[in-house]
A and B are shown apart, each in its own frame.
Chain A
Amino acid sequence: AQSVTQLDSHVSVSEGTPVLLRCNYSSSYSPSLFWYVQHPNKGLQLLLKYTSAATLVKGINGFEAEFKKSETSFHLTKPSAHMSDAAEYFCVVSGGNQGGKLIFGQGTELSVKP
């Protein structure tokens, strides 16, 4: 079975400092992994996806994530936080042989201080 664990429920950074949101996954299959962002009262926006190509994935708004099979991790990073990055972030793994099912983590709330 597939699962994903986001290691921090809340992360707070200062504007201009690096962001690290941690995610570990469990999968019986070669997984597809995603990061989505959700701003208050908005839908989910795809930040980036890993689908067995390059292990370092670049996404929108300066975010990137590295797939590490040996550590079963897919941490999200950004060199310099911006106030507009404040939102809820979800790490997501595909449902393996269950077609299009996405399995979401519990989310990490990112706060950015001026």
Chain B
Amino acid sequence: EDQVTQSPEALRLQEGESSSLNCSYTVSGLRGLFWYRQDPGKGPEFLFTLYSAGEEKEKERLKATLTKKESFLHITAPKPEDSATYLCAVHSPTGGTSYGKLTFGQGTILTVHP
């Protein structure tokens, strides 16, 4: 069974204090690893797709990296508006079909204090 584990569960940072979130995964037939941001009362907002080990993607203060077993979301000089829950998900075939299914991790709640 596909598994995704995110750590830490919660992270408190001071504004400007860089850090990383971890997503480790076990999946058969990976079809992509995705990072999402979710604000309270909103749906997940797509951030990145990572395709293969060694790949990196950047967007503003965020940089996502991928190895064969885990992904990191690096946050450089965060601001209070970066506070949100960050979800990692893997896409893999499901139930003997050709259709893919997203399996989410439990998320990391990031709080950035001014």
Question: Do A and B truly interact?
Answer: no
